[in-house]
A and B are shown apart, each in its own frame.
Chain A
Amino acid sequence: MTPPIDRGHGLELLRQMLRIRRFEEKCAELYSLGKIRGFLHLYIGEEAVAVGAMPCLTSEDAIVGTYREHGHALIRGTPMGPLMAELYGKANGCARGRGGSMHFFDAARRFYGGLAIVGGGLPVAVGLALADKMQKRPRVTACFFGDGAVAEGEFHESLNLAALWKLPVLFLCENNLYAMGTALARHQSQPDIAKKADAYAIPAEAVDGMDVLAVESATQQAMNFVRHDGGPYLIEYRTYRFRAHSMYDAELYRTKDEVAQWKQRDPIASFERYLRGNGLLHTDEVEKMETAITAEIEEAVAFAEAGGWESIEDLARDVYTPRQAEASGKVE
């Protein structure tokens, strides 16, 4: 039973989920027009996880993400303009356009990617937590990964090491039931992901990832645990992506019926119904939100369109950190 909430807070949760949804829809459109290139992995359907979980972190905490990280970056606070510009590959993108969709980074907000190798972020998260522990900083590292990552050796190694060395890592598994085109039951002998944490003596729970309040409540409790205990915790969010894995995916691995079923549990529509049902949402408020969001998106697109391209002369910059001191032979 999820607890009753404050109206302002409820509206904010709804607004942020809508922001992500509309942003992702715009990305799909821009991709079809060739403005965004390469790979594009949309978060549509999973919004409740980022919106419910991210605000449980303080600005001091760190986040390591996957290639399906647009929503996480938005909630963390990176402005939409630089994110859109990054998608365009423009120099005014949050990573100067060098990374694109799968590699959003924001040092000021302790957002360490945007990493594209499945499972590749877990060890990095372990290291960030290790650094905090060694420097006696009471910070938490939240590491997002999908159900696919659970198959990689690094998942097991990282959970083991985090538990062994008692590191403040929040392992957050967004289980959308598919590792690209392979269903969970076809890649895991033990499909109950939360249960795997047992093997590493890590406390864990599974949560309905389509219920933003459930996500929020569980994540807050997990955060409290990690801060208090100092050791890791694992949450498995059971969620679903309504769109294909990436833009070019015929979705031959799941039926339309299944998608339709899950769409009935759309986190945005459900939460809207919940708010209305509890008298927390007035008739025109959603329209107002949509209008404001449309404007924000248009502004972000304009920002991206107006951005310039990095000069080819600067191709080899940011491979190494520039040194002020002695010339060290070849300049990279």
Chain B
Amino acid sequence: MAEFVMPTLGSDMTEGTLVEWKKKVGDQVTKGEIIAEVDTEKSAIEVESFYTGIIQQLIAKPGDTVLVGTVMAIISEEGKSAEQVEAKVAKPVKESTPSPVGEPIVPPPPEPGRLRISPAAKQLASELRVDPSSLKGTGPGGAITLDDVRAAAAVPTKEPPTVTIDRQARMREIIAAAMARSKREIPHYYLSTAIDMGKAMAWLKDENLKRSVTDRLLYGVLLIKAVALALRQVPELNALWKGGAAVQSPDVHVGVAVSLRQGGLVAPAIHHTDKQSLGELMTRFQDVVKRARAGTLRSSEFSDPTITVTSLGEQGVETVFGVIYPPQVALVGFGKVVERPWVVGGEVVSRPVVMASLSADHRVTDGHRGAVFLSAIDRLLQEPAQL
């Protein structure tokens, strides 16, 4: 049994369109004989069969565009029996991009006495009144970078914390200050709604069967993605409060609240959350959680979230009414997914239900817009395959 596949006729050809078959089922074809005409980007080419035999099955139809390598017909070679074959769609072969091979020029080791600082960093140091010679550089070869200068300018004490306990206490202080300020300055309003997660959980189960163990998705990424997409419909909630007004952000960076083992909470950003696929989100999410717990988050991850999502479902809590992280103007909370009685088509059935809540800044939005946002999240979670 031989397969006639869409050939590659040139190094840049990835797919072709069948124009017409030159043979019918049952016809004899010999090796080297033209069996079809195929259209490519450049021109129409007649393609040959590499096998001699009888055409058993013509799988592709005229007009079909298929990837190179896709089985288009089955030929039974002389003396071999026929079988029905399902059309196999060839996966595009991903060519792994080789990592660029170049000879990086190794910078010479730093000369004692001469400060290795970039011109930009030097300029900033002068602006921020930071003495560059007091800095330890984190750039190549120990060079002082802009980040090093900024970091030095931000920390009031010159000595970096060396003891873990000190760092924790410091963090608690910072959180306390932020929460107090948030409650003081931001007029919060709260909304909640129950969302039927039946379709989402079922889809997730199926989807995860197709994935390897390491690639499996947690339901949390569905929630995060739904929030990110819902923001497109209510972009006022994706704003930052600056200088007395809400400035809408062009990008959606959802901050995910991660509790730290030593106590304390951080909510680093997953950048461009709305543009990530679920797989990518899962990877990013795991990465950010790992680094949050290891203490190796980047400063941009702290400062970039445009909205925060907190989920205490695993703790068993049903509804979460969180405190907004300034300068954000909203916070979305999800509780535990609980099997509940639910009415579907007049009948009472059991459904997995999650409580979604919104804490929002009343200076920026009102309850109506908040409600639209929660509804959008609900609707999005009813079409999990579109997330």
The answer to whether A and B touch in the complex, with CB atoms under 8 Å apart, is yes
Are A247 and B9 in contact (CB-based, < 8 A)? yes
Chain A nearest CB: distance from B230 CB in Å?
A: 44
A39 to B68, CA, bound (A): 17
- The residue from A247, A252, A312 contacting B10, defined by CB atoms under 8 A apart: A247
- The residue from B42, B43, B47, B68 contacting A34, defined by CB atoms under 8 A apart: B68
Chain A hits for B101, CB < 8 A: 312, 315-316
Are A248 and B50 in contact (CB-based, < 8 A)? no
Chain B nearest CB: distance from A290 CB in Å?
A: 12
Are B5 and A250 in contact (CB-based, < 8 A)? no
Q: Mark B28-56, 1 if CB is under 8 A from A, else 0.
A: 00011000000010111101101000000
Are B43 and A252 in contact (CB-based, < 8 A)? yes
Chain A hits for B42, CB < 8 A: 248, 250
Which of B50, B69, B101 has most A Cβ within 10 Å? B50
Total number of B residues with any Cβ neighbor in A under 8 Å: 22
Q: Mark A76-111, 1 if CB is under 8 A from B, else 0.
A: 000000000000000000000000000000000000
Chain B nearest CB: distance from A332 CB in Å?
A: 10
Nearest opposing residue in chain A for B44, CB measure: A250
Are B8 and A31 in contact (CB-based, < 8 A)? yes
A37 to B93, CA, bound (A): 14
Decide yes or no: A248 and B10 within 8 Å by CB, A25-B32, A33-B5 being known contacts.
Answer: yes
Nearest opposing residue in chain A for B12, CB measure: A248
Nearest opposing residue in chain B for A29, CB measure: B50
A/B pair count, beta carbons within 8 Å: 42
Are A32 and B7 in contact (CB-based, < 8 A)? yes
Chain A hits for B45, CB < 8 A: 248-250
Asked whether any CB of chain A lies closer than 8 Å to the CB of B13, the reply is yes
- The residue from B32, B50, B98 contacting A32, defined by CB atoms under 8 A apart: B50
Are B9 and A248 in contact (CB-based, < 8 A)? yes
Decide yes or no: A28 and B48 within 8 Å by CB, A33-B5, A34-B68, A250-B43 being known contacts.
Answer: yes
Asked whether any CB of chain B lies closer than 8 Å to the CB of A55, the reply is no
Decide yes or no: A312 and B98 within 8 Å by CB, A25-B32, A28-B48 being known contacts.
Answer: yes
Asked whether any CB of chain B lies closer than 8 Å to the CB of A38, the reply is yes
Asked whether any CB of chain A lies closer than 8 Å to the CB of B11, the reply is yes
Nearest opposing residue in chain A for B101, CB measure: A315
A25 to B93, CA, bound (A): 25
Nearest opposing residue in chain A for B98, CB measure: A312
Chain A nearest CB: distance from B216 CB in Å?
A: 32
Decide yes or no: A34 and B50 within 8 Å by CB, A25-B32, A250-B43, A312-B101 being known contacts.
Answer: no
Q: Mark A247-278, 1 if CB is under 8 A from B, else 0.
A: 11110100000000000000000000000000
Q: Which of B58-75 contact A (CB under 8 A)?
A: 68-69
Are A37 and B11 in contact (CB-based, < 8 A)? yes
Q: Which of B1-24 contact A (CB under 8 A)?
A: 5, 7-11, 13
Listed by A's residue number, 29 A-B pairs whose Cβ atoms lie within 8 Å are: A25-B31, A25-B32, A28-B48, A28-B50, A29-B50, A31-B7, A31-B8, A32-B5, A32-B47, A32-B50, A33-B8, A33-B69, A34-B8, A34-B68, A34-B69, A37-B11, A247-B9, A247-B10, A248-B9, A248-B10, A248-B13, A248-B40, A248-B42, A248-B45, A250-B43, A252-B43, A312-B98, A312-B101, A316-B101
Residues of B within 8 A of A (CB): 5, 7-11, 13, 31-32, 40, 42-45, 47-48, 50, 68-69, 93, 98, 101
| 19 new A-B contacts at CB < 8 Å, known A31-B7, A32-B47, A248-B13 | A25-B32, A28-B50, A32-B5, A32-B8, A33-B7, A33-B8, A33-B69, A34-B8, A34-B69, A37-B11, A38-B11, A248-B10, A248-B40, A248-B45, A249-B45, A252-B43, A312-B98, A315-B101, A316-B101
Give 8 nearest A-B pairs by CB, closest first.
A32-B7, A248-B10, A250-B43, A29-B50, A248-B9, A34-B8, A247-B9, A315-B101
